[in-house]
Amino acid sequence: MANIITWARVKSPWVLHFNSGACNGCDIEIVALLTPKYDVERFGVKLEPSPRHADVLLVTGGVTQQCAERLKRIYDQMPQPKFVVAIGACACSGGVFAGCYNVVGGVDKVIPVTAYIPGCPPRPEAILDGVVKLLNALSPPKPKKQPKQEKPPGLPKEEAKPEVAKQEAVAPQEVKPTVEEAKPDAKQ
């Protein structure tokens, strides 16, 4: 049973994107991932609008004071097990905005981070590679088929280090869709 859940999770990770004070550079690159040239949906990755259904939280930006509290709330709303990927130099360490009066400086100051993808902004291929590395780390140790990726020659050095927390070792909890609370961000 645990294997089935892991298999389902690895094959169709639902990601939630949250901009915690980024400049739009990384965010547009994440959206570009969905579009025909990169098309992450072929790996089963789906951008999910609600934190309650998401497995992976993609955070961009150096976390401003206003966003810190929101980021924590979104993280708390996600069902277990959950993974956080910090995308871009600002999300990793504060980047060029480190030391600004309204910037906390890095996602890991607020919530635990599973993987870091540096770059300003990282190329879509780098983000893709980081997510895939994260998924590989989650999957059971049996040899897995590596998803095919085209890497153009000019690909910057990619250093995603999925230091995966021990969450996958925990017995999989029931992922229950929470419905009792009205979503604060529901629009219609």
Partner 1 sequence: MPNNNIDIINVIETQLKDKVQIQLGQLGKAAIVTNNGLHRDTLKAMVEADEKTAISAITGLDLGANIGVYYHIRTSNAFLTIKAEVPKDNPKIQTITDIIPGSAFHEMEVADLLGVVFEGNPSPGRLVLPENWPEGVYPLRKDFKANEVKLSPPKEEAKLPDEVKLVKIIIGPQHPALLEPEKFAVTVDGETVTKVEPRIGYVHRGIEKASESRTYLQDVYLVERICGICNSIHACSFVETVEKILKTEVPPRAKYLRVVTLELNRLHSHLLTLGHAGLEIGYETLFQYFWRDREPIMDLIELTSGNRVYSSLMTVGGVRRDLKDSDIPKIKSTLSELRKKLPFYRQIYEDEPSIKARMKNVGVLKREDALKLCVVGPVARGSGVDIDVRKDEPYEAYGEIPFKEIVYTQGDTWARMNVRMDEVEESINIIEYAIDHLPTGPFRVKAPRVVPAGEAVNRVEAPRGELFYYVKSNGTAFPDRVKVRTPTFSNIPAFLKTAIGENIADIPPNFVSLDPCFSCTDR
- Rule CB under 8 A: is residue 149 a binding residue for partner 1? no
| Residue closer to partner 1 (CB basis): 129 or 135 | 129
**Judging by beta carbons within 10 Å of its beta carbon (0-12, 13-18, 19+), is residue 126 exposed, middle or buried?**
buried
| Residue closer to partner 1 (CB basis): 21 or 118 | 21
Residue 110 CB, nearest approach to partner 1 (Å): 13
- Rule CB under 8 A: is residue 14 a binding residue for partner 1? no
- Rule CB under 8 A: is residue 101 a binding residue for partner 1? yes
Smallest CA-to-CA distance from 20 within 101, 76, 103, 140 is with: 103
Find the binder of partner 1 among 18, 75, 83, 116 (CB under 8 A). Answer: 18
Long-range contacts of 141-149 (CB under 8 A, 24+ apart): 147/43, 149/125
- Encoded tokens for 1: 């049973």
- Rule CB under 8 A: is residue 70 a binding residue for partner 1? yes
The span from the CA of 158 to the CA of 142, in Å, is 25
Neighbours of 172 (CB within 10 A): 16
CA angle 104, 105, 106 (to 5 degrees): 120
Tokens 């927390």 locate to 165
| Residue closer to partner 1 (CB basis): 12 or 65 | 65
Residue 140 CB, nearest approach to partner 1 (Å): 33
- Rule CB under 8 A: is residue 43 a binding residue for partner 1? no
Query: Under the rule (CB under 8 A), what is the footprint of partner 1?
Result: 17-29, 31-32, 35-37, 49-51, 61-62, 64-67, 69-70, 74, 96-97, 99-103, 120-121, 123, 154, 184-188
